[in-house]
Amino acid sequence: MYLNNKFHAFFIIFFLLFQISLRTSSQTENIPEKSSDIINAAIQLHDEGKYDEAIQLYKKISLCDPDYPLACYEMALSYYAAGNFDEALNKCNEAILLRYEDPGIYGLIGSLLDDMGKPDEGIKLLEKAVKTWPYNQNILYNLALCYLNTGNPVKAEEVALKSLIINPYHTRTHLILAKANYVMGRIAQSYLAYNMVILLNPYLKYISEFENCISGKTQDVPLAYKYPYPQGSNHRKWDDLKWLIQ
């Protein structure tokens, strides 16, 4: 009787351990072994909005792995999307320290610094990046945004126009152009840029912003006297249009 009970207990323990091992192996089978596969799986999680899960997957890549700098950059994107700006910036700096040279990472740092209320630092970094990648639209866009947020609409317009030559369908660059021209008192140019924004992306947010601009409910104040047209420029038709639409 004692032996039978002992045998039953042994059998139950063995069965439970077998089930646990099966469950564990099935879970590990879902985790890719190659670092490139891990990164691809994490990117898919990121695209699905599962930022925390993506970050945990990136962390499985070893520091010694050649793909680790790329994982740092991708992890920074997930941290940024999750609203953790400090960790995103740390990962960007770590990737650069490991000599990960890609224009995307500088555009991301520019966005981070601007969102963290440090657009001046963003300008310094992005000005250097532009020298290496002069035709990168993302870097130019973020540089224009930083200029706009430091109260320099002239430079914001200049850089935004360069960005639009590369990608004329980038909605937010047209938005920078609209805001910069409005601050400079160039109402007709501003309205034209706002119309381009709405044509490209007719979101309620953009439409409401344009309506506020037309009705004068925006916080920005047109300062035409402070930003005269460049000497020799033919702006008479723009001025005539300004009085017509106001």
Q: 146-180: per-residue pLDDT in tens?
A: 999 999 999 999 999 999 999 999 999 999 999 99
Predicted pLDDT at 230: 65
pLDDT for 215 equals 72
Residues 6+ apart with CB under 8 A from 192: none
Q: What angle in degrees, to the nearest 10, is found between the helix axes of 103-115 and 119-132?
A: 170
Query: At a CB cut-off of 8 Å and minimum separation 6, what does 108 contact?
Result: 73, 76, 77, 80, 88, 92
| pLDDT at position 24 | 46
pLDDT value for 31:
56
pLDDT of residue 15: 46
What is the pLDDT, as a whole number, of residue 38?
93
Measured in degrees and rounded to the nearest 5, phi and psi for residue 4 equal: -65, -45
What does the alpha-carbon distance between residue 71 and residue 81 come to, in Å, rounded to a whole number? 15
pLDDT of res. 214: 73
CB atoms within 10 A of CB 188: 19
pLDDT, mean of each 10-residue run, the chain (246 residues): 47 49 47 82 94 94 92 96 95 93 93 94 95 95 95 95 96 95 87 92 86 74 62 61 57
| Rounded distance between C-alpha atoms, residue 153 and residue 159, angstroms | 10
Quote the pLDDT of residue 29. Answer: 46
Task: State how far the Cα of 30 lies from the Cα of 22, in Å rounded to an integer.
Answer: 13
Q: Over the chain, what is the mean pLDDT?
A: 83
- pLDDT computed for residue 203 by the predictor: 85
* pTM beyond 0.85: no
Q: In this predicted structure, what is the pLDDT of residue 204?
A: 83
What was the pLDDT predicted at 32? 59
Residues 6+ apart with CB under 8 A from 141: 107, 160, 163, 170, 172, 173, 176
pLDDT of residue 16: 45
Read off the pLDDT of residues 27-38 as tens digits, 9 standing for 90 and up.
444 555 788 899
DSSP letters for 207-240: HHHHHHHHHT-SS----GGGSPPPTT---HHHHH
